[in-house]
Every structure is written in C-alpha cells, then in structure tokens.
Chain A
Amino acid sequence: MAIDVRVPTILRTYTSGERAVTARGDSLSDLIEDLDENHPGIKARLLEGEDLRRFINVYVNDEDVRFTGGLQTSVSDGDAVVILPAVAGG
C-alpha cells in the first residue's frame, strides 16, 4: 500500500509524464520528501522555504490542506493526494 498522488500537467516533467505516482510518509511534509527522492526537483516547485507555495493547492482526501494543518497534515496508506496549481491572476 502507498499513497496515490495526482500530479498536474506542469509538474509531469518530474514524473516522466506520469499523471499519478505513489509516495510514502506519515505527514504531507514526509510525503513531499519521499516524492522528491524519486522525482528530484519536485519539492522546490511545491514549497517556498518551509511552507507550501501560495499558488499551489494540495488536497488530502479532497480536503485543502490549508484547513487541515498544512504540511503537518497526517497521511496514511490508501489516502489520495491531489496537487493542483491555482488558477489565478490579476
């Protein structure tokens, strides 16, 4: 078992074009570390310093992690993580 992660188009350059990959971890933070080991560079596209980038949305089981503890949000086998860039502008 592992955690399914849906990867948006703009980050598929890090996943050999795959739209979904699997990763492991007990928290979102761990999961991103694990993702970056297998897909080097992806972490820098998700985080800015110690935080999620403002215009990257991450959902664990359909909940925006901004409302569930951010990078500390716990995850476990069988969970579904979705990464989506915000659609925004000025």
Chain B
Amino acid sequence: MLVLDRVTYDAIVAHARRDHPDEACGVVAGPEGSDRAERFIPMLNAARSPTFYEFDSTDLLRLYREMDERGERPVVIYHSHTATEAYPSRTDIGLAQEPDAHYVLVSTRENGNHEGPVECRSFRIVEGVVSEEEVRVVSSYEQPSGDGNAPTPRQQEQ
C-alpha cells in the first residue's frame, strides 16, 4: 500500500493537469529506509511528449546527488498518461529501474487541464512484473493510518 498525504497527492494531480497534454513526471523523496513520501519534486519532462517521459540527464544527476546528501531515496516516481488509463505501459514496465519505488500513474484523459476526477493508481514494477497496490490518502502522516506503522515524531512542516 502507498500512503500519501493530501498535500502531496494534490500536488501530483495538479502537475499532471498543468502539463496535459504532455506527460508530467516527478519524484516524491523520503528518508532512506522509510516508506514516507515526504518531499515533492516535480521534474521536467525532457521529452515534452504526450506519449513519453524522461528526466533530463543533468537534472537526474542533481536529483540523485541531492537525495544522497539528504539521506533520501525516491519513494514515489510518478508520471501521467494523457490519453490512456493510469496503468503502466509496456514502455513503463521495460524501463522501470527502481525496484523499491512506488510507481504512481495519473490519467488526465477525462478532464485534461481541468478540475474533475482523475485516475491515480500505484504499482510496484520489479523485473517486468507489475503489482497494483492500494493508494491511501491521509490528511497528514502524523495521524495513525491503521497500516501498522507506529505514529512517528512530529516532522517539521515546510
């Protein structure tokens, strides 16, 4: 299961809407060894395409260096599909190279740049095998989410 706080969930959806009809992409980083998606990092889609996304290679290096320095890992890797469902494409499956990440897909095919319901689903993609998982949106990570994680100490809000 992926637990996302409302602010992060809304930020992912807003990014997908903003970049429609091109695919939007980004990361939510969290502390190494945890599964907390804490730091929302929208990335530029260097492909600027409605059917493909790729982080710019210089941005990618900067991102991973920053995460290393902060003791973080990519907890979530998200991108949007703008004409198809929120399910990993064959390309997504073939190129998924972060076995520990939650791959989040948002589909903007229904409402494009506008408000309205969006499909937002999460998957693990490991060695070509896709497993869908529940997405639970919580008002904050501080509230007991019932997923077995002990409440954690108060985090500093940005």
Contacts and interface: CB of A to CB of B under 8 A. Distances in A.
Q: Do A and B bind each other?
A: yes
A76 interface: no
Interface in B93-127: 95-100
Contact of A86 (B55, B74, B79): B55
A87 B54 contact: yes
Given A89-B52, A89-B88, A84 B61 contact: yes
B70 to A, nearest CB: 15
B89 interface: yes
A88 B53 contact: yes
B77 interface: yes
A5 to B, nearest CB: 14
Interface string A57-90: 1010010101000000000000000101111111
B58 interface: yes
Contact of A89 (B57, B58, B60, B92): B92
Interface in B42-63: 43, 47, 51-55, 57-58, 60-61
A57 B99 contact: no
A1 interface: no
A62 to B, nearest CB: 6
Given A57-B57, A84-B61, 4 more contacts: A10-B99, A64-B61, A87-B60, A90-B89
Given A59-B61, A64-B58, A90 B51 contact: yes
Contacts of B51: 90
A25 interface: no
B154 interface: no
Nearest to A87: B55
Contacts of B57: 57, 59, 64, 66, 86
Given A62-B61, A64-B57, A66-B57, A85 B89 contact: no
A38 interface: no
B98 A87 contact: yes
B156 interface: no
A9 B100 contact: yes
12 contacts: A57-B60, A64-B57, A82-B64, A86-B55, A86-B60, A87-B25, A87-B74, A88-B91, A89-B52, A89-B96, A90-B51, A90-B89
